[in-house]
Amino acid sequence: MSAARPAPAGTPAQIPASQEDGQSAAADTGPDEAPSPPGPSGLAITTSGLTKRFRGGQVAVDDLALAVPRGSVYGFLGPNGSGKTTTIRMLLGLIYPTRGSVCLLGDAAPGAAARVLPRVGSLVEGPAFYPGLSGRANLTRIDAADRTADPGSAPARIDAALDRVGLLSAARKRYRAYSLGMKQRLAIATSLLRPRELIILDEPTNGLDPQGTREVRGLIREIATDGVTVLISSHLLAEVEQICTHVGVMRTGRLVFQGSLEEMRGLDSRRVVVRTAQPGQAAKVLAALGLADIQSADGEVSAQLADESAERICRELVLAGVGVAGLDTPRPNLEDLFVGLTGEGFDVDG
Amino acid sequence: MSTAEATGAPPAGAGQLAAGAAAGPGAVAAWLRLLRSELRLVFRRLRNLALLAVLAALPVLLGIALRLAAPRGGGGPESSFIDQLAGNGVFLAFIAITVMIALVLPLAIAVVSGDSVAGEAGLGTLRYLLTVPAGRTRLLAVKYVAIVIFALASCCVVVAAALATGATLFPVGPVTLLSGTTVSLGEGLLRVLFVTLYVAAGMAALGAIGLAVSTFTEHPIGAIATVLVLAVASEIADNIPQFAVVQPYLPTHWWLFFDSLLRTPVATTDLLHGLLSFGVYAVIFCAIAWARFTSTDVTA
């Protein structure tokens, strides 16, 4: 796995940097080592009983209770058609819930949408701009729609946003002539037009080549280091795994898992793997330590780690005269866990 | 949906206004900024410019045709104007409006109004504007004002092109009105201005219908076609005697009554009926557009 993995989930939320009304958040997100989620006021997004039934009777989102901690990078995962985009559209007030409520940055929607949304940047279901306008003109248009944006600083803010996504040199080019990666970056730039407390990105890497995916991932990581809460949806765990602190997994409109990455790994017990020339003896030592599910195959003995520390196991093995060629406690494969949660194959969309 | 307005209905505006004044520009300044942005979008779009160019070219062609072919009184509604044209180029403005009000002017309005919301929905830019948040009511109001301005601009383009062509190809002087009285050129031009405004009001009413239709679809072409079909159907019904009972209530019925302004005394009853009809249509269809736009799910 990548060495670029950010802070483990033990430090769930960075304190939001200099927000006018972030006082409630700061109190709850101290450097507490406990992986338990912060209190309600430390949540950037909460939904309760959120349900959307479309006119055809199809239930796209069913009784959803999201809890996105402030300062987290929340990977909102699930196969295509599992209700991610519908949920995001409800968060942003684009579609109205059939039942349930949304609370953004401590303010209850829908009444609060006009108050809260200026502090929320978003990219919903891919980029969409006026093809005949340049990148800069498109951002100017979006900024003009914001009644709380200062028109005087608009040119500077727009150039800064373009610069941040690396489009400044293409600012005068028509949107029509942009590559898919540039379009995607322009869409991200709309959420950078002003300082935000929350950024919601729906499939920001959709349709990008590996190079573009890396660029976007780097950009999100950069945004998140400023203490901004990021919710990023994807149907690929691998795509967001490296930058997320928390995940929520959707399956056919329901949330099947929500918590920190560490908690998700905890779903599958961690194992210790010992490479040795004396597998029989090693297995005996592991059994003596009380480890369960001992398996032995071609010079490797493995067992469930449980609460035992790797150091103690190593010491016991050596004391028992077992030559230890290698000892590892590999991280559980998240991809397998994810597929286990969301189901496999084409029939998962219900 | 009972929560009629998610993104800032006027009643919620008071708190918003206070917040806006503290954080950024005033609500009015911000609204005007969005309107400017909308107008830039409408008036810089190549398709709309082409429409305006057609609106400017047709009166020129009309003037040249009438100059080459000696005007002869026909049976059409414009015949009385054509009789006058040889003596006064100002009448080319009335001829142009009479000819173009049937199809070309409504087409221009249908294109811009039908495209207003449906076009944004089709491109997907609507979801970006709404998550800014632009505010649904606010965005709709800006859209309608832009349509009205485009309608006025369209009528002005037709009249200006007609007046310029008329002045070039025909003599210009005191204007003999339809009622036989002659007024000075200045007053004649003033009446041309009022005719322009009256016709623009009629087109603005059509624009409201277009705005409403536009909120029901993501396909601008469908909305544009619907508006145009509605206008033409109304005009046809207006010409079938069996529909006499409903004719005064048709959206297009009062369009041609602008000639009331060319009589002394001005037939104000007809004009006021016309303006009332336009106003009622504008209010009803803006209300439909609002009800639809503020309650619908944006899934585009």
With respect to residue A344, please indicate whether it lies within any of the assigned structural domains: no
Q: Identify the pLDDT of residue B166.
A: 94
CATH of the domain at A316: 3.30.70.100
Interatomic CA distance for residues A301 and A313, integer angstroms: 12
Note whether residue A72 is domain-resident.
yes
* pLDDT score, position A20: 36
Q: List CB contacts of B265: < 8 A, sequence separation 6 or more.
A: none
Of the three residues A228, A243, A266, the one that is the final residue of a domain is A266
The tokens for A186 are 């322009």
Is B27 within 8 Å of A147 when comparing Cβ atoms? yes
Q: Which residues of A85-109 are buried (b: 16+ CB within 10 A; e: fewer)?
A: bbbbbbbbbbbbbbebebbbbbeeb
Tokens 């540039």 found at: A182
**Under 8 Å between Cβ of B162 and B90:** no
Residue after which a domain boundary falls, among A266, A298, A320: A266
Q: Which residues of A touch B115 (CB under 8 A)?
A: none
Residue type, A262: E
- The answer to whether B212 and B116 have CB atoms below 8 angstroms apart is no
For residue A341, being part of any structural domain is answered with no
Hey, is the C-beta of A101 within 8 angstroms of any chain B C-beta?
no
Of the candidates A204, A195, A126, A137, the one whose C-alpha atom is nearest the C-alpha of residue A164 is A195
The tens digit of pLDDT for each residue in B27-75 reads 899 999 999 999 999 999 999 999 999 999 999 999 999 988 865 555 5
**Is residue A13 in a domain?**
no
Provide the 8-state DSSP code for B7. Answer: S
Contacts of B269 (CB under 8 A, 6+ apart): none
pLDDT of the residue at B106: 97
Partner-chain residue, chosen from B7, B24, B298, that has the shortest CB–CB distance to A113 = B7
pLDDT, residue A34, reads 36
- Residue A194 sits in the same domain as residue A299: no
Together in a domain, A211 and A309: no
What separation in angstroms does the CA of B201 have from each of B53, B147, B194, B289?
21, 11, 10, 18
Provide the pLDDT for residue B113. 97
Asked whether residue A83 is assigned to any structural domain, the reply reads yes
CB A189 within 8 A of CB A162: yes
Element (H, E) at B108: helix B104-123
Residue A14 in domain: no
Q: Which residues pair with A200 in a beta bridge?
A: A122, A231
Parent domain of A319: 271-331
Q: Which of A93-102, A314-323, A331-340: highest mean pLDDT? A: A93-102
C-alpha span between A119 and A195 (Å, rounded): 7
Do A119 and A257 reside in the same domain of the chain? yes
State the 10-residue block means of pLDDT for chain B, 300 residues long. 37 38 70 96 96 97 88 56 83 94 96 96 95 93 98 98 95 88 93 96 97 96 97 95 94 94 88 96 98 91
* Contact assignment for A114 to B8 by CB distance below 8 Å: yes
User: Same domain, yes or no, for A144 and A237?
Assistant: yes
CATH code for the domain of A138 = 3.40.50.300
Contact residues on chain B for A146, CB-CB shorter than 8 A: 30, 132-134
Is A322 found in the same domain as A209?
Answer: no
Q: Which of B205, B180, B206, B169 is nearest to B95 (CA)?
A: B169
Q: Which of A266, A297, A312 is the last residue of a domain?
A: A266
- Residue A120's SS3 state is strand
Nearest residue of A to residue B30 by CA position? A147
Residue A262 within any structural domain of the chain = yes
Contact call for B30 and A148, based on CB within 8 A: yes
Tokens of B115: 């495209």
Contact B33 A144 (CB under 8 A): yes
Per-residue pLDDT, B25: 66
Q: pLDDT band at A57, cuts 50/70/90?
A: confident
Chain B residues in contact with A147 by the CB 8 A cut-off are 16, 20, 24-25, 27, 30-31, 34, 134-135, 138
Q: Any residues with CB less than 8 A from the CB of B68 and at least 6 apart, and which?
A: none
The answer to whether the Cβ–Cβ distance between A89 and B41 falls below 8 Å is no
Question: Is A289 in the same domain as A324?
Answer: yes
Mean pLDDT rounded to a whole number for chain A = 81
Contact A117 B7 (CB under 8 A): yes
Which chain B residues contact residue A190 at CB under 8 A? Answer: 128
Nearest to B7 among A114, A120, A148 (CB): A114
Instruction: Provide the 10 A C-beta neighbour count for residue B295.
Output: 16
Give the model's pLDDT for residue A33.
Answer: 35
A339 confidence band (pLDDT: 50, 70, 90):
confident
Residues A78 and A224 in one domain: yes
A147–B16: do the CB atoms touch at under 8 Å? yes
**Which residue of A147, A148, A150, A176 to mutate against B (max B Cβ within 10 Å)?**
A147
Confirm or reject contact between B34 and chain A (CB < 8 A).
yes
Ordered DSSP codes for B224-278: HHHHHHHHHHHHHHHT-GGGTTTGGGSTTTTGGGGGGGGSSS--HHHHHHHHHHH
Residue pair B147/B109 in contact by the 8 Å Cβ criterion: yes
- A345 in any annotated domain: no
Do A260 and A194 lie in one domain? The reply is yes
Shared domain check, A206 and A136: yes
In chain B, residues with a C-beta closer than 8 Å to the C-beta of A145 are 34, 37, 129, 132-134, 139
Q: Quick one: A89 and A160 in the same domain?
A: yes
Number of structural domains (chain A) is 2
More confident residue, B122 or A302: B122
**Residues A291, A143 share a domain:** no
Q: How far apart are CA A201 and CA B42, in angstroms?
A: 30
Distance CA A157, CA A122 (A): 17
Same-domain status, A261 and A327: no
Strands A120-123 and A300-304: unpaired
